[in-house]
Structures are given as structure tokens and as C-alpha cells.
Amino acid sequence: MAFKYFSIPSPSYVLEMDKLVSNLEILDSVQKESGAKILLALKGYAFWRRFQNVREKLSGVAASGINEARLGFEEIGGRESGKEICVFSPAYKMTDIKALLPIATHIIFNSFAQWQMFKPTIEVKNKQLKSLGLSPISVGLRINPLYSEVTPLIYNPCAPKSRLGITPQEFCKGVKEYGLSGIDGLHFHTHCEQNALALQMTLEHIKHHFGEFIPQMQWINFGGGHHITRSDYDIPLLISLIKSFKNTYGTAEIFLEPGEAVGWQCGFLLGEVIDIVYNEGNVAILDVSAAAHMPDCLEMPYRPNLFKVSRANDGQEVCENDKGENSGKYCYRFGGPTCLAGDIIGDFSFDTPLHVGDRIVFLDMLHYTIVKNTTFNGIALPSLGVIENNHFTLLKTFNYEDYKERN
């Protein structure tokens, strides 16, 4: 390829545009074959500077609050452009709802109490929309089917005492007290990086606990966490499950809201070795941080795939893949530049030694990284760039003011 890794400023998140386009083609084919609408979950992927293809292929966005909803509205479009903006939050304030009214096409509540609190406000807005010939805001409830295969527990929305979704028992109580008039859809989100078989198992629990209410709904949202663009994902099974569900219940619309599947394997985080120290082994200190730039390395925990890039005597770039924790001749622990003792990315090894100034390319770093990064310790946020047609373009850099103004 035309670009060189040493020509990219370090640290940088870099989108590989051709890989994003490939992911979107897969997702669009699922929409067309299944009849479902696929929404981009902005909590997982929000690289809006290159949303033109997302806007073209996907049906809208899934947002977790007003800021994500506004970003989706501005960069993807809203009801006037035929796009969906579905919003779910564990709890809303009145200021949130009022800010969402001009933007959201769907508002999903986490409890009957919240729905009842904001129902009059939404009804007033819907009268205004109808008078203008515009479609009203559709209201839904999030349900908890008491089944999820997600690990670790921190990511499991159906864990004991979870605050996410209405349990079957509480749902029946709510229906008995308030009815379902005004509720257009149901939403569940029980997946994380999972294949279609997990959805198949989940749907059995959805049907068991909530099947009697589904025929009353205009739409069902299957949530996110569907790893549709992963090479081993069972797309035929997903399409079959969607079609079967629609045929069984006569549901007009099915939504899927993946975030990670959109940004899956479509970009990297480039860092640089700034020092190598020794303490019972070699420790390479980088200009990228697990705590500030790759928090999933600590939360999951997660060991990223990577390769190193060094310069040969003739100036050519030489790449070498990581050999594992200790399979290579030269072993290193990678750590970040923050004061956190546990800011450790992981243990890696190579057949050739690592040097100060070498570049480290962390693969698959465009989802759940940029949206989670911080300026802890005043560490600079990585720059943002894109590779299009084998050419690198720097899109955004961050400076002291970015750090100062968020404190």
C-alpha cells in the first residue's frame, strides 16, 4: 500500500475505509434478505467523520441519550429523511425527553413508571407532529427475558438484580395496572459479540415470557451485540430467525442495532515505543494507554492483536506479528504512559528485538475504544485519521484545550 506507518502521527486511531464499506455491504444484504432494519449503535461506533456510507446503507441509529441522538440526527438524518433514531436510556429526566422530542423517532423506556411520567409530554408532541403530516414518536418498553449468555458479568444485562429491562413478573404487573395502550414495541438487548445461535436461544425465552404481548406490537427491537460481520457468523440462521418471527407474530418491523459489527476489524490504533525498562523482564512504555485509550483491555480483560513496525538500515519499514506472550525470542510487557500501576496492555513477544521509536499497530480498535477514551493524567487523545484508496488523511488532532475544557 502507498502509505507508510511512520508517516502516521502517533498515537492515532485510523479507519480503513474499504473494510468499513465491506462491513456495511454485509449488513445491508441482511436488511434486504430479512426485511429487518439495521441501526448503527453509536455507543459502539461513532466515527462520524466518515458516515457517508453508513448513511447510505443503514436505516438509522440507536442512541443512549440526547448527545448520541443529536449526532445521529445531524450526521445520519431523522424522520424527514426516512431514517430511524431509536433512543433507550435506563432513566430519563424531563430535560432529556424535551430535548429528544424534535429528534427521536422511537423512545424506549426501562419501566412503566418512566413511561407514565412522560406519556402526557409525548402525547402533546405527537399531536403536533400529526398536524404537520409527520409520523409520531413511537414508544416502546425494554424487557428482560432473564436469559443471556454474555460473559463477563459486567456486560451481562440479565445478571441478577440487573437494572436493565423489565422482568416478566414486573411486566405483567405493569400491564395489569396501566395496560399497553400507547406502547408500540418491545426492545431487548441481551447479546455481546455473539453468533445467531445465542439469538435463537434468547428468542425462546422472549416467546415464553412475553409471547402473549408480542402480537399487539408494531415492532420488536432485537437489540445489539450481533456479530454479523465476523467471518464465522451464521447469517442464514439470523435471516431465518427474523423471517420466522415476523411470520409467527405478524410483527410489522424488526430492528437490529449492532455497533461493534459496523466497526469490526475496520481500523487500528497506532502507537510508539517511547522507552524500554527492565524489572524481572523487559517493559516497553508506549504513548498509548490501556486505561485512557483501550479500556476494554482492563475491563474484559482483553489482549489485543498487534504487530510492530521498525525501520531497516535502508529506511524500509519492516513489520512483524506478535508471537504470543512468550513464544518469541524477545518478550515484552506493554504499558501506557499514565501513573496508574495497572495501565498494562499485555505481554507480547517477537523474533527480533524491540527498539525505542518502533511503531505498534493495535488491530481492531475503532469500536468501543474511541467512544470510551479519556484524558486521564492529561494524556493526549489519539489523533483521528482515515486510509482511503491507499492514502492516509489526518482528520483531527487534539491539544491542551481539549483536555482543559472537559474538566
Q: Point out which residues pair with 191 in neighbouring strands.
A: none
What end-to-end distance do the CA atoms of the chain give, in Å?
40
As a whole number of angstroms, the distance between CA 188 and CA 202 comes to: 10
Ordered per-residue pLDDT tens for the chain, 407 residues: 456 999 999 999 999 999 999 999 999 999 999 999 999 999 999 999 999 999 999 999 999 999 999 999 999 999 999 999 999 999 999 999 999 999 999 999 999 999 999 999 999 999 999 999 999 999 999 999 999 999 888 899 999 999 999 999 999 999 999 999 999 999 999 999 999 999 999 999 999 999 999 999 999 999 999 999 999 999 999 999 999 999 999 888 999 999 999 999 999 999 999 999 999 999 999 999 999 999 988 988 889 999 999 999 888 999 999 999 989 999 999 999 999 999 999 999 999 999 999 999 999 999 998 899 999 999 989 999 999 998 999 999 999 999 999 88
Helices (H), 193-264: 196-210, 235-249, 260-263
- Preceding peptide of 353 cis, ω within 30°: no
pLDDT, residue 406, reads 86
pLDDT, residue 3, reads 67
DSSP symbol at 137: P
Q: Give the chain's length.
A: 407
Q: What is the pLDDT of residues 3-60, one digit of tens each?
A: 699 999 999 999 999 999 999 999 999 999 999 999 999 999 999 999 999 999 999 9
- Preceding peptide of 136 cis, ω within 30°: no
As a whole number of angstroms, the distance between CA 264 and CA 262 comes to: 6
Which cell numbers in the block locate residue 261? 459489527
Which cell numbers in the block locate residue 401? 484545550
pLDDT, residue 236, reads 98
Nearest to 319 by CA among 271, 365, 273, 361: 361
Single-letter residue type at 253: E
As a whole number of angstroms, the distance between CA 330 and CA 348 comes to: 9
Q: Do residues 215 and 249 touch, judged by C-beta distance below 8 A?
A: yes
- State the burial class of residue 351 (Cβ atoms within 10 Å of its Cβ: 0-12, 13-18, 19+): exposed
C-alpha distances (whole Å) from 46 to each of 106, 115, 180, 183, 368 are 20, 28, 34, 29, 9
Q: Do residues 20 and 281 touch, judged by C-beta distance below 8 A?
A: no
Q: Do residues 274 and 326 touch, judged by C-beta distance below 8 A?
A: no
Q: Point out which residues pair with 19 in neighbouring strands.
A: none
pLDDT, residue 103, reads 96
Which cell numbers in the block locate residue 179? 395496560
Q: How many helices (DSSP H) and strands (DSSP E) are in the chain?
A: 12, 18
As a whole number of angstroms, the distance between CA 399 and CA 380 comes to: 7
Q: Do residues 338 and 289 touch, judged by C-beta distance below 8 A?
A: yes
User: Which contiguous run of DSSP H or E holds residue 398?
Assistant: none
As a whole number of angstroms, the distance between CA 212 and CA 193 comes to: 29
C-alpha distances (whole Å) from 264 to each of 9, 142, 231, 236, 366 are 23, 26, 10, 19, 7
* pTM assigned to the model: 0.94
Strand, helix or coil for residue 80? helix
Position of cell 402525547?
123
